[in-house]
Chain A
Amino acid sequence: MNHRYIIMLSACLPVVLTPSHARAMHISEGILPFSWALFWLCASAPFLALGLRTLVRRSEVDLASKPLVGMVAAVVFVISCMPVPVPMAGTCSHPCGTGLAAVLLGPTLGVVAAAVALLIQALFLSHGGLSTWGANLFSMGVMGSFAGYAIFRGLRMAGLGVVAAAFAAGLAADWATYAGTAMIMAAGIRGTSPFWPMAGKIALAFVPTQLPLGILEGAITAGMVSLLRKKRPDLLARTAMTGIGREGR
Chain B
Amino acid sequence: MNKPVYVLLLCTMLMCGVPFGTLYAGEKWPGVDEAVVNRIAREHGRKERPSLLPTAEGDLQLFMFLMAGTVGGFIAGYYWRVLLEGRKKLSDEKPTR
Residues of A at the B interface (CB closer than 8 Å) are: 7, 10-11, 14, 18-33, 64, 67-68, 70-71, 74-75, 77-78, 81-83, 85-93, 120-126, 129-130, 181, 185, 188-191, 193, 201-202, 205-206, 209-210, 216, 219, 231-232, 234-235
A31 touches B51 (CB 8 A): no
Query: A207–B30 Cα gap in the complex (Å)?
Result: 15
Q: Are A14 and B20 in contact (CB-based, < 8 A)?
A: no
Partner of A201, one of B20, B40, B87: B40
Smallest CB separation, B79 vs chain A (Å): 4
When the two chains form their complex, are residues B79 and A71 in contact, meaning their CB atoms are under 8 A apart?
A: yes
B34: nearest chain-A partner, CB-CB: A23
Which residue of B44, B48, B65, B78 contacts A30 across the interface (Cβ within 8 Å)?
A: B48
Interface residues on B, range: 35 or more
A231 and B35 in contact, given A70-B75, A125-B61, A126-B53 (Cβ under 8 angstroms): no
Tell me the minimal C-beta distance from A139 to chain B in angstroms. 11
18 A-B pairs with C-beta separation under 8 A: A10-B77, A23-B31, A26-B33, A27-B33, A28-B48, A29-B52, A33-B46, A78-B68, A85-B21, A85-B29, A90-B22, A91-B31, A125-B68, A130-B51, A189-B46, A209-B36, A210-B32, A232-B87
Q: Name the CB-closest residue of B to A85.
A: B29
Q: Are the CB atoms of B53 and A19 closer together than 8 Å? A: no
Q: Which of B40-85 contact A (CB under 8 A)?
A: 40-41, 44-56, 61-62, 64-66, 68-70, 72-73, 75-80, 82-84
Contacts of A32 in B (CB 8 A): 46
Residues of B at under 8 Å CB distance from A? 10, 14-18, 20-25, 28-38, 40-41, 44-56, 61-62, 64-66, 68-70, 72-73, 75-80, 82-84, 86-87
Which residues of B lie under 8 Å from residue A92 when comparing CB positions?
29-32
**B84 contacts across to A, CB distance below 8 A:** 231-232
Contacts of B62 in A (CB 8 A): 18, 20, 22
Q: How far is the CB of A87 from chain B (nearest CB, A)?
A: 3
B55 & A31 in contact (Cβ 8 Å cutoff): no
Tell me which of A31, A87, A120 contacts B46 (CB under 8 A): A31
- The CA of A21 and the CA of B57, in the complex, are separated in Å by 9
Q: Given the complex, which residues of A lie within 8 Å of B72, measured CB to CB? A: 74-75, 77-78, 81
